[in-house]
């Protein structure tokens, strides 16, 4: 599934690039009167995690907050940057390791995953304004705790692929409600300093659902 979703992300990025080029070459070159959109959003993160190594890793869902800024290059085309902090619970599906550790929980890790997407807004002047986007992110892992910290485990930083769809519902000329969905896929190496034989590879498909409030100016 991961490969198919990565291909989808690249395809969306290419399509948005074509739309960007055609729009920039046409009559919609100038940015709109209110080119900036700021949002604060409550997000839920669902993960589908695979691990090929001895740790047999898995992750739990989580809820957090995010902040993002969008700049409209044209009425239809925008660049979005999102920042959030995610605390991810990590566990093992290995019954032998769970028995040895006394629990299937391996602790948690904090992630700083800034996301950049290039968006196409279908109805820029409508009351309901749907959009799609695609792009990339960089995942910074830090503050491992619990068993992860005890065995000297560290998850390497890595790039990810992003696909996005959402809509804004305009409450006024400035304020809007937002609903957004993102797929984020990445792979990361897990290095276990105290026991290199346990080194692993983490593959994550993350599905991020968000509801937020925006201000356009």
Pick from 180, 217, 187, 179: which is nearest to 5 by CA? 187
pLDDT for 81-116, tens place per residue?
999 999 999 998 888 777 777 788 999 999 999 999
Hey, how many other C-beta atoms are within 10 angstroms of the C-beta on 196?
A: 9
pLDDT for 61-72, tens place per residue?
999 999 999 999
- 71: three-class secondary structure by DSSP: strand
Domains identified in the chain and CATH numbers: 2-24+35-184+202-216 (2.40.160.20)
pTM above 0.75, yes or no: yes
Phi, psi angles (nearest 5°) of residue 202 = -105, 125
**Where residue 20 falls among pLDDT bands split at 50, 70, 90?**
low
Q: What are the beta bridge partners of residue 65? A: 42
């Amino acid at each position: 599934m991961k490969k198919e979703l990565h291909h989808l992300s690249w395809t969306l990025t290419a399509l948005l690039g074509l739309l960007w080029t055609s729009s920039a070459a046409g009559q919609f070159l100038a940015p709109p009167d209110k080119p900036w959109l700021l949002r604060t959003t409550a997000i839920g993160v669902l993960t589908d995690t695979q691990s090929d190594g001895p740790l047999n890793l898995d992750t739990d869902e989580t809820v957090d907050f995010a902040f993002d800024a969008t700049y409209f290059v044209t009425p239809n085309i925008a660049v979005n940057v999102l920042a959030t902090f995610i605390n991810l619970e990590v566990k093992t599906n290995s019954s032998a390791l769970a028995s040895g550790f006394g629990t299937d929980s391996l602790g948690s890790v904090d992630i700083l995953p800034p996301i950049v997407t290039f968006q196409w807004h279908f109805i820029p002047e409508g009351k309901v304004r749907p959009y799609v986007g695609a792009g990339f992110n960089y995942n910074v892992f830090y503050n491992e705790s619990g068993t992860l910290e005890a065995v000297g485990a560290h998850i390497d930083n890595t790039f990810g692929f992003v696909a996005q769809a959402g809509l804004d519902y305009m409450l006024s000329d400035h304020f809007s409600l937002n609903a957004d969905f993102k797929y984020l896929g990445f792979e990361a190496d897990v290095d276990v300093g105290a026991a290199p034989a346990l080194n692993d590879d983490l593959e994550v498909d993350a599905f991020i659902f968000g509801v937020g409030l925006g201000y356009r100016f």
